[in-house]
Amino acid sequence: METRVKKRKADVMSRLERAFAVSFFIHECHKRFKMALTPANF
């Protein structure tokens, strides 16, 4: 019983970590995209 709860908790944590990594990656890409679009770089 206890191992099942531990496994579920680990699964939720890994899911949260994956979601955080994806959101961070999208944020970084968006920032670079905006920087590339600004005329100051040209």
Residue 22 lies in a domain: yes
38: left (phi > 0), else alpha (psi -120 to 50), else beta?
beta
Q: Which domain holds residue 7?
A: 2-37
Given a cut of 60, is residue 25 above it in pLDDT?
A: yes
Q: Is residue 33 part of a domain?
A: yes
Is residue 41 within 8 A of residue 35, CB to CB? The reply is yes
Mean pLDDT of 12-28: 95
Average pLDDT over residues 16-25: 96
Is 16 inside any structural domain? yes
CA distance 27 to 22: 9
How many structural domains does the chain have? Answer: 1
pTM score of the predicted model: 0.57
Residue 39 tokens, joined = 């005329």
Kindly state whether residue 42 falls inside one of the protein's structural domains. no
Alpha helices in the chain (DSSP H): 2-37
